[in-house]
């Protein structure tokens, strides 16, 4: 009990570089484990869809990415809880913490109902975007079931945001591992007809996603209710009563986060759409390379949340030296880890790619040959991708969301997407050219976002 109480109590921390590195790792390691466990869900879906065949894999890649882009946009509202609750927690404002999580849950619930509209027309959207009819049918099969998983998923991320602020990383890690294992078991059951379940193919993957998220959300809810330290915040007492000013704050801070996330995620969705224009094998290869990049991206993404929490608490304490060192320490650690991931991509690409394919399939060799150059490019942008996402987390910790959103939209859509199209189709470099455009846009974003953190006093983010 005492250890848990200490994790919830705001304290003034030692501002030595060693202390900041230690505190980053104490919170960061379990969150990294949690993010990696979360990424296993996407890997599991991709691997098992690959077992169904290249055509099912190609359609499944588009389906899972479409669902992902819809729910991750809503997750911006859940992520808004972190800096708002962290600042309140840093200044020992119990009511502010409670208001943030309550209205965050209200916001994501409202978003869920709005999200059903585009998901309902998934097949028509895929056809409009130039995908083959058989691929559009596969997308519809998955989305028609998976769209109902959006609400429990977003509500769980709201609870997870608060657990991150309380620095209960071990709890998040356990929940994420349970989620990954449960998803794998349910996918295996419903996709292939194991354990007495019906054989449903791609639909089975969606059923597994839905059941997993429902179970995990209710598990998280029970934990939050039974935890005596969290209970003092009275999060669920009269939760049905609106707090309009707190809801407005969540929306005001959450929508720029959502659009910034959407700008980056839709860049990769757009890349998938364009890869589909090239062909089914390139799209399958792209899906594998993207999944590998996503796995390594989970580490800086987790550290980005660490940066938001630690910078937000320093902001609440008005600890300006602590704020600076919290941001820098997370950035250095993140880029160092990203370098290790890049080395793995450069040295053993084929080994990693084969993990996603049925080697007996006659098209496997074609997919591997196309995917290897893509993985090389993915290795090259590991460091810049890490730098930009951590810088975004640092700026969010300082409650700076609108300018990072503008930077994201500019870099990913004004610069990245046109360059990707130019190299892929105008210069006829295909998938490699497309991925080069992605890498360049991430590099520009990293420079601009980190520059804003460096010049934070000039921009009025902290006092002079």
Q: Which tens digits make up the pLDDT trace of 154-171?
A: 999 999 999 998 888 899
Q: What is the pLDDT of residue 217?
A: 93
39, 294 Cβ separation under 8 angstroms:
yes
Q: Which two tokens stand for residue 256?
A: 């720029």
* Residue 96 covered by a domain: yes
* Residue 4 covered by a domain: no
How buried is 193 (Cβ within 10 angstroms: 0-12 exposed, 13-18 middle, 19+ buried)? middle
Q: What is the pLDDT of residue 358?
A: 67
Q: Which residue, 251, 289, 454, is CA-closest to 377?
A: 289
- Measured in degrees and rounded to the nearest 5, phi and psi for residue 6 equal -65, -35
* Residue 314 covered by a domain: yes
* Residue 248 covered by a domain: yes
* Residue 450 covered by a domain: yes
Q: What is the pLDDT of residue 326?
A: 92
CA–CA dist 199, 212 (Å, integer): 18
Give the position of tokens 């049905």.
240
Q: What is the pLDDT of residue 253?
A: 87
Q: Which residues of the chain have a pLDDT value below 70?
A: 1-13, 358-360, 362, 464
Residue 371 neighbours by CB distance under 10 Å: 29
The SS3 of residue 196 is: coil
* Residue 38 covered by a domain: yes
Residues 6 or more apart in contact with residue 380 via CB below 8 angstroms: 342, 439
Q: What is the pLDDT of residue 212?
A: 93
The mean pLDDT of the chain is 87
Give the position of tokens 């969705």.
269
The SS3 of residue 16 is: coil
CA–CA dist 305, 162 (Å, integer): 11
In this structure, is the dihedral angle defined by the CA atoms of residues 364, 370, 374 and 375, taken in order, positive or negative?
Answer: positive
The C-alpha angle with vertex 34 and arms to 115 and 441, in degrees rounded to 5, equals 60
Q: What is the pLDDT of residue 378?
A: 86
Q: Which residue, 352, 456, 318, is CA-closest to 396?
A: 456
Q: How far apart are the first and last CA of the chain?
A: 41
CA–CA dist 416, 412 (Å, integer): 5
Give the position of tokens 């006659």.
362
Q: What is the pLDDT of residue 1?
A: 39
* Residue 463 covered by a domain: no
Residue 118 neighbours by CB distance under 10 Å: 15
* Residue 461 covered by a domain: no
Q: Which two tokens stand for residue 334?
A: 């993140």
Angle between helices 430-454 and 402-409 (to 10 degrees): 150
Q: What is the pLDDT of residue 6?
A: 42
Contacts by residues 241-249 (CB-CB < 8 Å, ≥ 24 positions apart): 242/103, 242/106, 243/99, 243/102, 243/103, 246/99, 246/100, 246/102, 246/103, 247/103, 247/106, 247/107, 249/84, 249/100, 249/103
Q: What is the pLDDT of residue 50?
A: 79
Based on the structure, what is the number of domains in the chain?
A: 1
Domain that holds residue 213: 15-454
Q: What is the pLDDT of residue 447?
A: 95
Residues 6 or more apart in contact with residue 166 via CB below 8 angstroms: 7, 8, 89, 230
């Amino acid at each position: 009990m005492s250890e848990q109480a200490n994790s919830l109590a705001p304290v003034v921390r030692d501002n030595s570089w060693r202390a900041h590195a230690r505190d980053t790792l104490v919170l960061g390691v379990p969150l990294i484990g949690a993010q990696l466990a979360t990424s296993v869900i996407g890997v599991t879906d991709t691997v098992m869809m690959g077992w169904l065949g290249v055509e099912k894999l190609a359609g499944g890649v588009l389906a899972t990415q479409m669902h992902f882009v819809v729910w991750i946009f809503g997750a911006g509202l859940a992520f808004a809880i972190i800096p708002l609750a962290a600042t309140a927690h840093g200044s020992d404002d119990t009511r502010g913490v409670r208001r943030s999580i309550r209205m965050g849950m209200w916001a994501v619930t409202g978003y869920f109902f709005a999200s059903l509209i585009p998901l309902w027309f998934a097949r028509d959207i895929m056809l409009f975007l130039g995908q083959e009819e058989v691929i559009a049918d596969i997308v519809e099969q998955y989305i028609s079931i998976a769209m109902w998983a959006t609400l429990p998923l977003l509500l769980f991320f709201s609870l997870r945001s608060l657990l991150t602020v309380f620095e209960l990383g071990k709890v998040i890690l356990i929940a994420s591992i349970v989620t990954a294992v449960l998803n794998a078991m349910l996918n295996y059951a419903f996709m292939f007809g194991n354990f007495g379940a019906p054989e449903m193919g791609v639909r089975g993957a969606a059923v597994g996603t839905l059941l997993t998220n429902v179970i995990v959300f209710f598990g998280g809810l029970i934990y939050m209710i039974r935890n005596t330290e969290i209970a003092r915040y009275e999060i669920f007492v009269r939760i049905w009563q609106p707090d309009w000013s707190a809801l407005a704050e969540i929306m005001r801070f959450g929508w720029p986060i959502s659009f910034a996330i959407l700008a980056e995620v839709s860049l990769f969705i757009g890349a998938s759409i364009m890869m589909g224009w090239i062909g089914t094998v390139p799209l399958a290869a792209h899906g594998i390379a993207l999944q590998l990049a996503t796995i390594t991206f989970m580490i800086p993404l987790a550290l980005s949340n660490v940066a938001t929490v630690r910078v937000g608490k320093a902001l609440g304490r008005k600890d300006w030296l602590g704020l600076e060192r919290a941001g820098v320490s997370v950035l250095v650690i993140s880029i160092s880890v990203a370098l290790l991931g890049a080395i793995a991509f450069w040295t053993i690409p084929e080994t990693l790619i084969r993990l996603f394919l049925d080697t007996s399939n006659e098209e496997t060799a074609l997919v591997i040959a196309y995917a290897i150059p893509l993985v090389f490019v993915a290795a090259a942008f590991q460091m810049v991708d890490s730098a930009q996402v951590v810088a975004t987390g640092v700026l969010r910790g300082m409650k700076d969301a609108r300018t990072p959103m503008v930077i994201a939209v500019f870099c990913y859509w004004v610069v990245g997407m046109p360059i990707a199209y130019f190299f892929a189709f105008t210069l006829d470099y295909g998938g490699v050219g497309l991925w080069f455009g992605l890498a360049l846009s991430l590099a520009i974003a990293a420079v601009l976002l980190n520059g804003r953190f460096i010049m934070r006093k000039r921009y009025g983010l902290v006092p002079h």
